[in-house]
Each structure stands twice: as C-alpha cells, then as structure tokens.
Amino acid sequence: MTHRRSARMSRAFLPVVCVLALSSPPPAAGQSKIDSLSATERRIAAAVDGRTAQALALLERVVNINSGTMNFEGVRQVGAAFKAELDALGFATKWVDGAGFNRAGHLVAERNGRGPRILLIGHLDTVFEPRSSFQKFERLSDSTARGPGIIDMKGGDVIIVEALRALKAAGALDRLSITVVMHGDEEDAGAPLDAARATLTEAAKRSQIALGFEDGSGDPHTAVISRRSAGSWTLRTTGTAAHSSQIFRDDIGAGALFEAARILQGFRERLGGQQYLTFNPGVALGGSEVKYDTAQSGGSAFGKTNVVAGQTVVSGDLRALSPEQLERAKATMREVVAQHLPKTTAELTFDDGYPPMAPTDGNRRLLAVHDSVSRALGFGPVTAVDPSRAGAADVSFAAPYVPMVIDALGLAGWDDHSDKETADLRWLPRLTKRAAVLIYRLGSRESPIPRS
Ligand SMILES: [Zn+2]
C-alpha cells in the first residue's frame, strides 16, 4: 500500500557487518555447512532450474488476470490459480471470504511437519483496477518483462509456490510446518482493519518465523528487517467565540486556532529530529465553524477576521520504528495537548493503522541466515534496507507476534505502482532457489537459528 513508490529510489543500506558479528551462528563446526550447499540443497536448486519456463508461464498467466483490489472477481481468480498450485503440493487450502471487511478475501494454505512454523506472506491484489490502461504481461527483452503487479507482488507469489515445489521435488517439504497467507487487499486494506488483518495476525501468533515476499528496494542484495509504522492522528481544538478585539482577555482566551498552533509547534519542538520518527500535519481547518470528513480527507471552514476562532481540526500521520518509540511519541503528544491556552480545549485521537516492525535481534539473526544462503548459492551478500526508505506493508501486522521476520524476498525489478512496473527475470530462478534453501534451513532440525 504505502510501500516503495519507485523501486530505484532506495539504494541506501544499513551496514550489516556489526549485525553479523553480533548474531552469526557459532563458527568452526557448522561453518562449512552454512557457507556451502548440502546434497539436499543442491537438489532443491536443481529442481528450481528444471522449472524455469513453467514458473515464468505461471507469472505471465496471473499477471494477465486483472486483480485491482476492488475487482473482487479478479482477485478471487488469482487466488484460485495459486490455490490450485498449493493444493497440488499437498497443502490444506481455504479461501477466507472478505465480505465482512468489503474486500475479495484471502487465500490461506497450511502444512504440518516437525519444524518451527514458517509463515510465508504474499498478496493477490494490485493497484491497477480494470479501468487502468496497464493490464497485460509484456516481454521486453531476454531478461525483462513489464506488467501490472509483476513484482508487486505476483512475482513474489510465484516464488513462494515454486520454492515450495522445489522443496517437494527434493523430498524436503514433508518435514516442514508452513502457513501461506496471500491477502486480497494489501494495496487498499479493507475496513475494519482488525477484521481485514485477523487471518494474518492469527497465523502470526502460531508462527516462529515470517517471510514476506514483497519486492523491496529493487536490489536483490537487500532485505527488509524493519519497517516504520504508518498511523494517523486527529487534533480538535475549541475556543470561546467573541469579538476579535477582545482576544486574550481573561474570560475570552486565545481561541481555537492559537491553541492548535501552540500544539503543532509543541509537537515539533518536543519530537522533531528523532531518528525514524516523523509526524506530519497534512490538513487543517479552523474558524467559527468547521466541517471535516475523514473519509474524504477534506471539508470546509467558515470564519470572520473579526471573530475569535471557535473550532479547528488538524489531521496528520505518525511513523515510528518500534512500538516503544511510537508509544513515547504518543505520550509526548498527549502531554503537549494537555497544556491548554486560556479558555480553550483540545482533544487528540490516534488511529494506529500499520504497526511498526522493529529491527529486533531475531530479525537480524534471520537476515544473517538469509545472507549465508545467498552467499552459498553464489548470489552474493544480503544487507538490510534503511527503514526510513521502507514504507509500511502487510508483514508489519505479523511482526508484533513473530520472533523472526524479514521481508522483500520477492521478485526484483523497478517502478512498481506505475505503468512501467518491470521485473528482472534473471532473478526469478535465483530468488526462488534462495527462498527454498532458506525455508529448508529454517525448518530443518539443524536450523542455524539459535533457539531461545
Ligand atoms: Zn505489494
């Protein structure tokens, strides 16, 4: 939804060297196994190579089905295509109807094995509704293709399915405990949000590891271990209406607009400059009478220059990196609001939206495993994307419940959310292998992730 506008914008990485030093699995004994592929892992990689043409054909087929979020029939059709693939791999699949939150619904698939439960997160919808002129898969060159949702994120969904197929071909799927959740409304979540995300949060509560297959920064050598939250707030103030010539008199006070201005300035003074914390008043209305419609993000105000303002409404957003940072910011904002100017009132409400996905030690450990898999496959290192460059995404709803989470394991490319959305097809088999071997190692009893 609010993720990357242009895939090429974010090439800034967090240095991961210190992270690896802190969190690498113990060296020596296990090291050679981690840095090279086992026989099973080589079979997994070979199985992916044997399916290159079919994987691309599946991608073309699902990209050619319009699944704009509000095209419920199209979203269900794309869901049915992936459901059939997962059924064939022995998953128990179901479609969760979305009528309760005015969306198409979600696809859920599950297998029970012995290992830790791994949650794989995709989505079926795109930002391109049927009225868009951008509707079809188009091959541009040997290595690139353009299409609506090709990287955001039907490519990631194909990687999920093909990675699982390769695990099955190598005889490694039965031991794994896996849940797949593919949302039908990632780009424009249904309401109420709690209902629209209940399927994912329930699955997250039962999982030890979550992997998101969004397309990320566009650089397959990066992954996302943290995303900032994306929520909003609304401030309403009141003042005592009176002739303007009497403003600041003890019984008349400062008026609603000065109270709102004091509060906004207070937010900036108390909270400005904190790393990864941002808050932006995006719309403000004030005067004698104000009408504000949240859904329309707009309204009207009436007032006169010679009348002390009686009402204001200000609406803005708030983004933070961790639940703690978010709560501290909210507490400070409430403190600022509480110090009213004479004869005014102020009320602040929050709408949380996407929770923060904090850069936890678990997420860093998971990235370290992902990085070692990538190196073992010969695809080079993987480092973390700077969270100030990563917007909110569905994985954020799983993050509060799952000890280890990373995202952006999906298909590499550029210009998602535009009619130039293009995939780098050379990375489709590579990223499928990387995901499959990662899932294999995470689900293995010799998992390199230390158990706490
Ligand atoms: Zn997406």
Task: Sort residue 237 into left (φ over 0), alpha (ψ -120 to 50) or beta.
Answer: beta
**pLDDT (average), residues 124-145:** 97
Rounded to the nearest whole angstrom, what is the distance from the C-alpha of residue 171 to the centroid of ligand 1? 31
74 phi and psi angles, rounded to 5 deg: -65, -40
Name the pLDDT band for 206 (thresholds 50, 70, 90).
Answer: very high
Name the pLDDT band for 34 (thresholds 50, 70, 90).
Answer: low
User: pLDDT tens for residues 109-122?
Assistant: 999 998 999 999 99
**pLDDT (average), residues 175-185:** 97
Rounded to the nearest whole angstrom, what is the distance from the C-alpha of residue 10 to the centroid of ligand 1? 16
**Cα–Cα distances in Å, from 198 out to 181, 276, 397, 399?**
11, 27, 9, 14
Rounded to the nearest whole angstrom, what is the distance from the C-alpha of residue 4 to the centroid of ligand 1? 9
Rounded to the nearest whole angstrom, what is the distance from the C-alpha of residue 317 to the centroid of ligand 1? 21
Rounded to the nearest whole angstrom, what is the distance from the C-alpha of residue 248 to the centroid of ligand 1? 52
The pLDDT of residue 35 is: 76
Rounded to the nearest whole angstrom, what is the distance from the C-alpha of residue 303 to the centroid of ligand 1? 43
Name the pLDDT band for 300 (thresholds 50, 70, 90).
Answer: very high
Rounded to the nearest whole angstrom, what is the distance from the C-alpha of residue 186 to the centroid of ligand 1? 6
Q: Considering the entire predicted model, what is its pTM? A: 0.85
Rounded to the nearest whole angstrom, what is the distance from the C-alpha of residue 152 to the centroid of ligand 1? 4
Answer whether residue 106 shows pLDDT above 90.
yes
User: pLDDT tens for residues 231-243?
Assistant: 999 999 999 999 9
Rounded to the nearest whole angstrom, what is the distance from the C-alpha of residue 86 to the centroid of ligand 1? 20
**Cα–Cα distances in Å, from 1 out to 42, 74, 117, 189, 204?**
36, 18, 27, 8, 20
Answer whether residue 188 shows pLDDT above 70.
yes
Q: Cβ–Cβ contacts within 10 Å for residue 364, how many?
A: 20
Answer whether residue 328 shows pLDDT above 60.
yes
Q: Which residue has the tokens 């899932």?
A: 439
The pLDDT of residue 449 is: 56
**pLDDT (average), residues 259-272:** 98
User: pLDDT tens for residues 418-435?
Assistant: 999 999 999 999 999 999
Name the pLDDT band for 217 (thresholds 50, 70, 90).
Answer: confident
Rounded to the nearest whole angstrom, what is the distance from the C-alpha of residue 372 to the centroid of ligand 1? 26
Rounded to the nearest whole angstrom, what is the distance from the C-alpha of residue 350 to the centroid of ligand 1? 25
The pLDDT of residue 33 is: 54
**pLDDT (average), residues 249-272:** 98
Burial 175-197 (b: 16+ CB within 10 A, else e): ebbbbbbbbbbbbebbeebeebb
Rounded to the nearest whole angstrom, what is the distance from the C-alpha of residue 105 to the centroid of ligand 1? 16
Rounded to the nearest whole angstrom, what is the distance from the C-alpha of residue 250 to the centroid of ligand 1? 55
Rounded to the nearest whole angstrom, what is the distance from the C-alpha of residue 230 to the centroid of ligand 1? 15
**pLDDT (average), residues 75-84:** 98
Answer whether residue 299 shows pLDDT above 90.
yes
Mean pLDDT check: name the lowest of 249-263, 317-331, 376-390.
376-390
The pLDDT of residue 128 is: 97
